Amino acid sequence: MQTKDKEQVKVKPPETPPLYWTEISDSVSRCFHFNPDGQLSMKLLDDSRSVIHRTVDSFLSKFFPSGYPYSVSEGYLRYTQFRALQHMTSAALSVLSTQSLLFAAGLRPTPAQATAVSWILKDGMQHVGKLICSNLGARMDSEPKSWRILADVLYDLGTGLEVLSPMCPHLFLEVAGLGNFAKGMAVVAARATRLPIYSSFAKEGNLSDLFAKGEAISTLFNVVGLGAGIFLASTVCSSMQGKLVVGPVLSVLHVYSVVEEMRAAPVNTLNPQRTAMIVADFLKAGKISSPADLRYGEDLLFTGRLIEDAGNVKVGRALRKVVKPSKLRELKEIFPEEKFLLCPGSKWVDMVLENNATGEDALRGWLVAAYAAQIEKSSHVPSASALQEAYDKMNDVFSPFLSELQAKGWHTDRFLDGTGSRFAW
């Protein structure tokens, strides 16, 4: 009987008291606890910060990633400042161009007509420009900074044609169509290069947060730019002479802003130019440069330049143009286990990569070419002997070189050579 009574008695597990804790930072006290559904709730207990301090923190939380400045790479603030200026000037330019298009079409500048004209042109020639530019995506992966600058130059070119359209109203459709064609190409190039640029700042995998806050800043300063454009259109730029003065000034500011944006971005993927700069710094000073170290040294105009200290290596040329078929096997036998071929020439060294070559393979080939150039210059030994000696030297230093390179934040799992030609055995 007693046993049955014991079975009927249900022992209730002790209830777990709710978990509360308080966090105090920057004169703000917050109480945190978990709701029954498992969601974390926060209650503000005390905030003794000044109004200015609270306003600044509110602005940062809306327009900068969580954890800023520790959650982003170096240069993000400068990039954001010039991005804001770039969007403000482009928005102001768009107001002036729309006003000019309306005058050229013989319409009174009402908002409804501006929208109609804008959409008609965008849905026409602008889509053609987008389709043409979409074929160049691989080149944009390799050189996102240069293509981002080109995008804004094309945008200003298209806007400039629209601003000038009242001067030739009989060619309205041709001028406006060509302008939107250029702007269509600019839109694709700008959007395609946005992800590589944001990725370079995503220090803690916070790419979505960076993208969202970047769009918030773009939206804010687009609105400011539209307001400035409306003011200019109704005052200084109400005449064609005013547009011819203000338009070029806004375009110069616009392009200058995007150049400074790109110079501030520490892109951490390997392409021909950045690989050559890394190797040159390593051979000259024995140091490994980080993406932030190299950002201001990149040539954003002539991206295919040869760097003598890195062996004057040119990568991506077709194999049939680099070496004769009779010498192909001989070159491959010099480094049989490698995924690259080196073919020294009179002005530069051609490097051709296999289909599955990574950034590490490109770095190995570049180091061999650079060491071989040093050995030939100092010892005047034959090319074949110099390559073998350089290969041994590269193998001695490559493991610590690669480890430090990755520790600096470089992505060595791929090599972005645009539309460069590769080969397979």
- pLDDT tens digits, one per residue of 65-96: 877 777 788 888 898 889 889 988 988 888 88
Both structure tokens of 318: 């077709």
Tell me the backbone φ, ψ of residue 30, rounded to 5 degrees: -130, 140
Q: Is 267 helix (H, G, I), strand (E, B) or coil?
A: coil
- The residue assigned the tokens 């005052």 is 235
pLDDT tens digits, 97-134: 877 876 766 655 555 555 455 545 545 676 677 777 77
Return the pLDDT at 119.
47
Q: Which of 23-32, 35-44, 107-116 bottoms out in mean pLDDT, i.e. has the lowest?
A: 107-116
Per cent of the chain over pLDDT 90 is 30
Count of CA atoms in the C-beta half-sphere (13 A) of 237: 26
Give 162-219 pLDDT, tens digit per residue.
888 888 877 777 788 888 889 889 988 998 898 889 888 888 788 888 888 888 888 8
pLDDT of 281 over the 90 cut: yes
pLDDT of residue 95: 80
Output the pLDDT for position 124.
63
388 — pLDDT class (breaks 50, 70, 90): confident
CA–CA–CA angle 364, 369, 373 (5° rounding):
150
The 10 Å Cβ neighbour count of residue 404 is 14
Dig out the tokens for 79 from the structure: 């990039």
Q: Which part of the chain has CATH 1.20.1250?
A: 76-264
CA atoms of 249 and 244, how far apart (whole Å) = 9
The pLDDT of residue 39: 62
pLDDT at residue 282 tops 90? yes
Q: Which two tokens stand for residue 335?
A: 């480094």
User: DSSP labels for 279-303?
Assistant: HHHHHHHS-PPPHHHHTTT--SS-T
* Between 95 and 269, the higher pLDDT residue: 269
- Over 90: is that where the pLDDT of 364 sits? yes
Instruction: List the single range of 15-24, 34-43, 163-172 with lowest mean pLDDT.
Output: 15-24
Confidence of residue 1 (pLDDT cuts 50, 70, 90): very low
Asked, as a colleague might, if the bond just before 69 is cis with ω within 30 of 0, I would say yes
Domain 76-264 has CATH 1.20.1250: yes
Q: In angstroms, rounded to a whole number, what is the distance separating the alpha carbons of residues 343 and 351?
A: 7
Mean predicted confidence (pLDDT) in 238-262: 93
Residue 169 DSSP one-character state = G
- pLDDT reported for residue 28: 63
pLDDT for the residue numbered 325 = 76
Mapping DSSP onto H, E and C, the string for 195-236 reads: HHHHHHHECCCCHHHHHHHHHHHHHHHHHHHHHHHHHHHHCH
